[in-house]
Amino acid sequence: METQADPSVETSSEQAGEPGQAVSRPGADGSPPRVIAMMNQKGGVGKTTTTVNVGAALSEAGHRVLLIDLDPQAHLSLHVGINPDELERSVYDLLVDDDTTAAEVVMQVTPTLGVLPAEVNLAGVEAELAERTAAGESQGVLRDKTMDLVTQFDYVLLDCPPSLGLLTINGLTLAREVIVPMQAHFLALQGLSKLLETITMVRERINPQLKLAGIVLCMHEANTLLAGEVAGDLNAFLEEARGTDQPWADAAVFQPAVRRNIKLAESPSFGQSIFSYAPESNGAKDYVALAKAIAAHRVHG
Ligand SMILES: Nc1ncnc2c1ncn2[C@@H]1O[C@H](COP(=O)(O)OP(=O)(O)OP(=O)(O)O)[C@@H](O)[C@H]1O
Ligand SMILES: [Mg+2]
């Protein structure tokens, strides 16, 4: 991936007193990093594409970004050019081996982009963690193991698998925010309510800070009537919660939606973000604008 800053991303362009110190950085004022889980139990909705390209946009703007691949398919790792078959250590080791540290697993893809990569072994992790389940420890392993590492970053983005198992729960235990990538299809609201149940459950039992930051509409067909109606319904649903103590009370349907764009579908097989692979594409334009919107939208004080 290229390290050159994209001048069109302005999220960190203001300089504080010291050169290179961006005032807009989370953490610059002692606030914790933004830790965001990209979550949807439905497969193929755009979780990995959004994690990689929002992360790349933020890192090219100068933010320190950590991506965590929690999916045994290891698509995020492949998308950033890491071969999961050649890894010495992965998130799998981190989760099942007490002695493996996050500092040993993290790979620096560019100076501002770190990755905790996955390997296919990760599929067995739920069974291996299960023995800790009785002691109530299995949900917090990722959080406990990455506590020190995450403080070195401004943004930590987690790519969850398409299920609500122990890997996703570990992600939601570490995260402070959830972003739901989805398509504006019929039944979108029903799918969302299942996700909100899970967020509410994790918030009540494990992680009281967890909130829904918002929804990203992926592979969007803006000019269809259905997509417009569904986006309107989602907005109306979120509006109803304003001022309540629901975990989605401050959530947004992020603008812009990400248009369907063939370059976004091609770039993973080249191990490149959209900004390296096709910087002039609509996909690159949408993800730069989306990253700005996410950076500007704070659900924690
Ligand atoms: N805006 C887009 N335009 C065109 N293709 C896209 C777009 N976003 C994602 N895709 C493609 O759609 C497929 C699914 O996207 P992606 O892998 O990001 O979804 P996912 O939710 O992570 O899937 P899984 O649940 O399997 O992990 C991929 O082939 C991806 O390249
Ligand atoms: Mg994925």
Tell whether 87 is covered by a domain.
Answer: yes
Pairing of strands 177-182, 34-38: parallel
Q: Check residue 15 and give its pLDDT.
A: 32
Query: What residues contact residue 151 under an 8 Å CB cut-off, 6+ apart?
Result: 27, 32, 33
Please work out whether the CB of residue 45 comes within 6 Å of at least one atom of ligand 1: yes
Residue 6 within any structural domain of the chain: no
Q: Is 260 in the pocket of ligand 1 (CB under 6 A)?
A: yes
Distance CA 170, CA 121 (A): 17
pLDDT at 188: 87
The CATH number linked to 177 is 3.40.50.300
**How big, in percent rounded to 5, are the helix, strand and coil portions of the chain?**
45, 15, 45
Range of the domain at 284: 34-296
First vs last C-alpha separation in the chain: 33
Query: Nearest Cα to 288, choosing from 258, 265, 253, 251?
Result: 258
Residue 12 in domain: no
Q: Which ligand lies nearest to the CA atom of residue 46 in the structure?
A: 1
CA distances 219 to 46, 55, 160, Å, are: 8, 18, 19
Per-residue pLDDT at 27: 58
- pTM more than 0.85: yes
In a domain, 19, yes or no: no
- Domain-embedded: residue 1: no
CB of residue 49 inside a 6 A radius of ligand 1: yes
pLDDT 10s per residue in the chain (301 long)?
443 434 344 433 333 333 333 334 565 556 789 999 999 999 999 999 999 999 999 999 999 999 999 999 999 999 999 999 999 999 999 999 999 999 999 999 999 999 999 998 877 888 888 777 766 779 999 999 999 999 999 999 999 999 999 999 999 999 999 999 999 988 888 889 999 999 999 999 999 999 999 999 999 998 888 888 999 999 999 999 999 999 999 999 999 999 999 999 999 999 999 999 999 999 999 999 999 999 999 999 7
In a domain, 17, yes or no: no
Is the Cβ atom of 252 under 6 angstroms away from ligand 1?
A: no
* 9: Cα within 13 Å, side-chain hemisphere: 33
Q: 62 near 112, Cβ under 8 Å? A: yes
Asked whether the beta carbons of 171 and 70 are under 8 A apart, the reply is yes
Q: Rounded distance, CA 296 to CA 281, Å?
A: 23
Inside any domain, residue 2 = no
Asked whether residue 29 is assigned to any structural domain, the reply reads no
Distance 46 CA to ligand 1 centre (A): 4
Give the model's pLDDT for residue 205.
95
Give me the number of domains the chain comprises.
Answer: 1
